[in-house]
Structure 1
Amino acid sequence: MNEARPVHSNQTGPHEDLKKIVQRHLQSEFKKPIQAHNQQAFDDIHAKVMAWQGPVILDSCCGVGESTAVLAERYPDALVIGVDKSAHRLEKHSSYERSGRGQRYYVVRADLMDFWRLVEQADWPVQHHFLLYPNPWPKAAHVSRRWHGSPVWPYLLKFGGQFTLRSNWSTYLLEVAEALSLSDFRSNIALLDPQRLEPMTPFERKYKDSGQSLWELQADLGQSL
């Protein structure tokens, strides 16, 4: 069996500069121009969201889109949008495709640095946002590459609704909890029970099979402290 490696980092806890980095992004506007291909991808799916006229579930960093298809089955009253920047990963979705594709769920190729800003500007009715096993960028020098350390983080906070994050690196969740608290959002972190866990992604399946601890953070972005 090809076992997944646990995360190794030169950090022993949340990054010492995290608060400063997050506050800087919260207090400034992200002015990077939207790339044309991301705008087009958003425009194409935005038309479907507007036609849906119901709750939307966003599955960010969806990879091969297995989680997107699973979420569409778990939430039959919502339109599920999976987004990933890798065409290579999305091309593999046919192996995970389910009957709701093209009706109640879609997978979209786009960079979230642009896509999240467009979602916020369009005021999508995001009921639940899933971010499952994002790249942890575990080196301390790469803290600004983590989503909560990036300039697009404030836009994610404006979606409202429920937010669910999963990772096999507990430090990542502790950092996200700290970043959320800086905007007066309360979050809860829990260790997932491997006996009850039904994997939603290939990574989650590999991590579970290799005996790694898997963590989940939950937050209500529609309710601040």
Structure 2
Amino acid sequence: MRRHLSQPWRAPLAEHDRQAFDRARQWLGDDARPLILDSGCGTGRSSVMLARRFPQARVLGLDQSEHRLQRGERRFGEALPENLRLVRCDCAGFWRLAQDAGWRAQRHYLLYPNPWPKSAHLKRRWHGHPVFPHLLALGGELEARSNWRLYLEELAAALALAGVEASLQPLPEDEVALTDFEEKYRLSGHHLWRLTASLGDGAGSA
């Protein structure tokens, strides 16, 4: 992480991510409402709930799987809020383009519960990935949830290296599940955890 924070990531950007970002930018237009990002949104359940919870904001649900997003569109259909857009993209590419365009998020959610669980995959987790400084640069209130406490402890450690203090707490049992994963794990008796951190106007820019 220290290396990622000190050295810009110069990997080429994929054309499909540029196209996805352009479509999202056109949808946002000149709307001055705050921006909320739901990265790795899967079928979009969390994005729909966030759009309803924050009707004064615009919500972008980002996921790389066309299949999952299509399931979400079929699932919610006309119930998709007007202030929500589901976008197929690689989050890493999208975040870089968003930073380059000067975007700042009011809130940013990372709700996929157990990404890359093998120890050999550490560098593929967001906090071990070279895109992490770009995530920080987007700013806002960061919230990550998981049934895997170690994953969030790692995220907190990476944030600390960037000078950002995070809070890690159990998710209250009466807290509404934002994702199907949360609901499934809760029903299976798993403990759920929530990390929150304020990134302000953007920290650790690459």
The alignment status of 1:197 with 2:175, answered yes or no, reads yes
The alignment status of 1:150 with 2:123, answered yes or no, reads no
Match of 1:119 among 86, 95, 98: 98
2:197 alignment partner, SS class: strand
The CA distance in 2 between the partners of 1:125 and 1:38, in whole Å, is: 18
Runs of 5+ consecutive residues of structure 1 not aligned to the other structure = 1-21
State the match for 2:200 in structure 1: 222
Match of 1:137 among 89, 102, 116: 116
2:163 alignment partner, SS class: coil
Bigger Rg, structure 1 or 2? 1
The CA distance in 1 between the partners of 2:111 and 2:77, in whole Å, is: 18
Q: Deviations over 1:169-207 (max 9, x none)?
A: 00011111010011111110010122x121111111101
State the match for 1:51 in structure 2: 30
The CA distance in 2 between the partners of 1:153 and 1:170, in whole Å, is: 19
- Alpha carbons 1:64, 1:96 under 8 Å: kept: no
Query: Taking every aligned residue pair, what percent have the same amino acid on both sides?
Result: 44
Match of 2:43 among 64, 88, 92: 64
Runs of 5+ consecutive residues of structure 2 not aligned to the other structure = none
> 1:51, CA displacement in angstroms?
2.5
1:126 alignment partner, SS class: coil
- Alpha carbons 2:64, 2:89 under 8 Å: kept: yes
Q: Deviations over 1:57-103 (max 9, x none)?
A: 000000000110000000010000000000111111121346354x2
The alignment status of 1:96 with 2:76, answered yes or no, reads yes
Query: Stretches of 4+ moved more than 3 A in 1?
Result: 96-101
The CA distance in 2 between the partners of 1:166 and 1:38, in whole Å, is: 25
Q: How many residues align?
A: 201
What's the C-alpha RMSD, in Å, of the aligned pairs? Answer: 1.4
State the match for 2:138 in structure 1: 159
Q: Deviations over 1:88-138 (max 9, x none)?
A: 11111121346354x200000000120110111112231000010254212
TM-score of the aligned structures, taking structure 1 as reference length? 0.85
- Amino acid aligned to 1:150: H
TM-score of the aligned structures, taking structure 2 as reference length? 0.93
